Amino acid sequence: MTTTETPWWKGAVIYQIYPRSFQDTNGDGVGDLPGILSRLDHVASLGVDGIWLSPIFTSPMRDFGYDVADYCGIDPLFGTLADFDALVEGCHTRGLKLIIDQVYSHTSDLHPWFTESRADRTNPKADWYVWADPKPDGTPPNNWMAVFGGPAWTWDGRRKQYYLHNFLTSQPDLNLHHPQVQDAILAVARFWLDRGVDGFRLDVADFYTHDRSLADNPPAEGGPRDRPWQYQRHLHNIDQPETLPFVERLRAVTDEYPARMMVAELASDQSLRCMVDYTRGDHRFHTAYSFVFLGPKFGPTFVRDQVQKIADAGPDAWPGWAFSNHDVVRVASRWGKDRPTRYLKMLVALLTSLRGTAFLYQGEELGLPQADVPFDRLVDPEGLALWPNNQGRDGCRTPMPWTAAETQAGFSPVEPWLPVSTTHRPLAVDQQTDDPDSVLNFTRHWLAWRRDQRQLGAASLTFLDLPGKTLGFIRGEGPGRLVFLFNLGDEAARTALPAGAWRAVYQLDAALEDGAVTLPCGGLLVAAIDG
């Protein structure tokens, strides 16, 4: 949503594309850049403002592109730099912005920087990664654990030291305390900005720096635990004060280019506080999103509490919101399971009605549930390490279903890298396009209506005190402000509308009578207050 007063990204809806699973055009079973270009009309038809493109850079693909071996190269699996340039042009021709994933916390262990760094302790890049001597007994320098399991340290026989990796052993952490490393990363950012990208999504941006004293992390309290990472409070290996000066340098580079933006992914267990810190003012990230809405918790009180905490932090802390992405169980299965299709429509509307920037994951416009990927088809290192209690991220990464009756649902002419879910075929784009009551057509209609509500871009949000499972809030102030009501519960709910002159401007199965509205499970109403 763009106005002359509001930057394009404030109030925007950005569509996330996971390239491996969007469209295969060369018959290798993996999606590619020409495939994305061929499907841009679908993305544009949704009424979104831009695209977030997950990594397409040169990589051994041990973490499917989040282990970068060349920051300025396109992996041949996806195409070429010329294909990328064509995609940029294709997006801009359709009025779509394009932001790309940037992984600045760590690289692949096959990156030339790491190859040089690990050679010895005196080479020019010796300190470009986080190296530490063992304890006197030979054990790692501290107790830090890796996200995917096991210690966050791996022994290297060449240097006779440990190197830090917060994720896989093949993803060594960059030492962003080092000015030369920062300069090299800023040069990468300029490379892509010069090619016309409209901004960046910054992977695990609160992992950029570590406590140089290497102090042990304290144990965590309570809560379910299915991996060693969850046994600690991550006070020393992530979210350090030294991260913010680097963020400010990165913002200064981005600001050299008009109308660019950055959105940070934040994984801190203090995610809302972190979101505020990393987006405060006009010299840090433009926006950020956390995992608060990417887990099982949901309900009107929970939504209100999370959104209100950001609002209370001040108007310059601009949030980003996502209900699904490539790392978590799809929202249709987390919050919409065993609920009517209407509930999935409502979730799209709720996500894109909150004050902030919204991120819609590919397939969310179809109401796709989590796919069940059998163990012998799992490829995600997280799923392989934690199966069967945690089946990893493959179930949200399966191919997009385009045409129900075609081979591999129109994604590829051959067996794809992950199987097409049988539950997804009936929800394919061609099936939903012809169904006026589909989630897809609701998404198109809703976002088209939303785009016309110019006042929503940076408008205030004020929650209403409502009983039961109805969530309500007002966007904007003065005449023309909008009241949003959503029934998040399983039972029908009756709610009185605000006193004064109002009129219904959008509804989903809402029944209006005597100044009140009755909403079924997943029902919604938007009313304009003219008085």
CATH of the domain at 500: 2.60.40.1180
Classify residue 138: in a domain, yes or no.
no
Q: Is residue 167 included in any domain, yes or no? A: no
What is the chain's mean pLDDT, rounded? 94
Whether pLDDT at 67 is above 80: yes
Q: Are residues 441 and 474 in the same domain?
A: no
430 lies in the same domain as 464: no
What is the residue range of 484's domain? 460-529
- In terms of pLDDT, which residue wins out, 263 or 270? 263
Q: Note if 211 is an active site residue.
A: no
**Helix, strand or coil, per DSSP, at residue 321:** strand
Q: Which two tokens stand for residue 162?
A: 């440990």
Does 359 lie in the same domain as 400?
yes
Tell me the pLDDT tens digit for each residue of 107-163: 999 999 999 999 999 999 999 999 999 999 999 999 999 999 899 999 999 999 999
pLDDT given for residue 3 in this prediction: 43
- Do 475 and 524 belong together in one domain? yes
**Pair (348, 302) in one structural domain:** yes
Please choose, from the candidates 487, 446, 309, the residue with its C-alpha nearest in 3D space to the C-alpha of residue 13: 446
| 197 and 324 inside one domain | yes
471 and 333 share one domain: no
In this structure, the answer to whether residues 271 and 397 fall within a common structural domain is yes
The total domain count for the chain is 2
In this structure, the answer to whether residues 473 and 419 fall within a common structural domain is no
Residues 405 and 481 grouped into a single domain: no
> pLDDT digits over 2-36, tens only?
445 789 999 999 999 999 999 999 999 999 999 99
The CATH code of the domain that includes 361 is 3.20.20.80
Which of 408, 432, 451 marks a domain boundary?
Answer: 451
356 and 471 inside one domain:
no
319/431 same-domain check: yes
- 203 annotated active-site: yes
**Residue of 32, 75, 203, 265 with catalytic role:** 203
Which of 451, 475, 492 corresponds to the end of one domain? 451
Contacts of 23 (CB under 8 A, 6+ apart): 31, 32, 35, 36, 38, 39, 400, 402, 411
Token pair of 86 as six digits:
């064509």
Mean pLDDT confidence for 260-289:
89
Residue 222 covered by a domain: no
Task: Please report the pLDDT score of residue 145 as a whole number.
Answer: 97
Beta-strand relationship, 57-58 and 97-102: unpaired
Categorize the per-residue pLDDT at 459 as very low, low, confident or very high, splitting at 50, 70 and 90.
Answer: confident
Catalytic residue, from 41, 256, 312, 437: name it.
256
